[in-house]
Structure 1
Amino acid sequence: MQILFVADPLESFVIYKDSTFAMMREAQRRGHQIVACEPGSMSWESGGKVTARVRFITLTGDKKQWFDETEARSMALAEFDAVVMRKDPPFDSEYFYATHLLSQAEREGAKVFNKPQALREHPEKLAIMEFAHFISPTLVTRTAQDIRAFHAQHQDIILKPLDGMGGMGIFRVGPDGRNLGSIIETLNRGGATSVMVQKFLPDIVQGDKRVLIIGGKPVPYCLARIPQGNEVRGNLAAGGKGVAQPLSNEDKAIAETIGAKLVQRGLLLIGLDVIGHNVTEINVTSPTCFQEIHDQTGCDVAALFVDALELAARA
């Protein structure tokens, strides 16, 4: 197969931990042709198809010069056997527009994973609303008064922007309410921006678990991202320590329930964030932790993904 990865610039990859790199490496091992482009290289003109300036690459096995570019040219996305959307968040306006171009490419015959319509309809913070029975007390609002009332009820809370990633912009406010007003002003910008507020979960000391779901089925191991020092965030980008561990029966049951529903909507790869007994986010843009799980357990997540991709591309 020829597989097009729509991703961040190749030169920005940190390959020892990058899950998209792991996908590419496994796909090349199986003999598939690896092609890459950035969302900004896609375009459409009336009378034609969605095209992109793409880079044909070969992975070298070298840690520094990890790929060789063999060719670059413009191609229609519908010419590829599979298009894998792996652009990292934030889910900003340009990401949104890119999904519309990908939807047009689908109408022209392209097979895109994750499905662009599903990406638009499942923003990573808000997708949990559909599964409220799996989440902790949560509020989404622009109104400062609502946030203050939520804090008064739950005392210890987490506030975060809806478009953040890697733990960016996350605040904890305890029972004393210290800095709550300033944090609200920072996040909701005078009522112009929606904020997510959740009851603080003490189970975070055991880790914010990344549970991966591929083709509707949970990967047998998760990565518990454990906050270090005085940090409240477990995100690896915020200094959390990643510890791979087998899925608990409860986490497996949650993942099976959510995965079975969302795979029907074209979400081939999902990353649940689970703290204790509660789902806190449903990541669908570019879920990570493939290499950390593989390195610690031997479970080849990239192979599971390419298995599912091959099956879906043939369907």
Structure 2
Amino acid sequence: MTTAVELSAPGALGHLDALEAEAVHIFREVAGEFERPVILFSGGKDSIVMLHLARKAFWPAQIPFALLHVDTGHNFPEVIEYRDRTVAEHGLRLYVGHVQEFIDNGRLQERADGTRNPLQTVPLLDAIEKNRFDAVFGGGRRDEEKARAKERVFSLRDEFGQWDPRRQRPELWNLYNGRHRVGEHVRVFPLSNWTELDVWQYIEREEIPLPEIYFSHERDVFLRNGMWLAPGEWGGPKGDEQVERRVVRYRTVGDMSCTGAVDSPAATVAEVIAEIAVSRLTERGATRADDKMSEAAMEDRKREGYF
């Protein structure tokens, strides 16, 4: 029987160390099992932490994976600039799928609400098939919302890139099953067991730089359905919606048309951590309008092949 003394014995891993060790193990496991893995990298905080962990896993060698980003064309400029700077700084390979190209060639149609987040699935699956990626690292965490809480660390996708929760495999201890047929691939989530607070505490400990959009700054926004959205050609403001200049920050970043800012004075990592520690809303619940379309919005998209 394990005692409290044994659990707190000298040399035991701290909370962040244990999460880091698990993620590093997952990266190395994938490198050993798969032929063509790729990391989804948007320049958002979760993908930034994921890349940091991948570099740690293989240091001093270069990471043996390319990066992939599906660009909606409505991404925050600060985040795209960070993405490109990071790729250049570390000599990484980046594949970019452009939603606009699929709209231009007729494979996708612009939505009436201007939101392009749901349109990312087709370019993502196209890039996976065209480049024969057999494992795709994503920054999803189980604390974000209900559908992501159902994911395993290794999550099988069929030959059409679709997810079936009934095909989830058991994961005992740190044993992962990467078996898949030709045409199938596996989504891998090294941050599954992390929370938003864990991510920020790790960022603080590792001194990981982030796009300034995550910290308090003045920005033009308008209010829609209780969320502060960025104005733009995709559909806002409309009617009696008024643009205001407010001090805000972003808890998560994605398509500008559906990612809301929050009123916040938090200008440093420590201040963000203090703010999150008392928050009762998950970041997606508080700031992602596309997840509010229905109770099952995310799960429906994941079944089709979304992140």
Scaled by the length of structure 2, the TM-score of the pair is 0.29
Higher strand share: 1
Scaled by the length of structure 1, the TM-score of the pair is 0.29
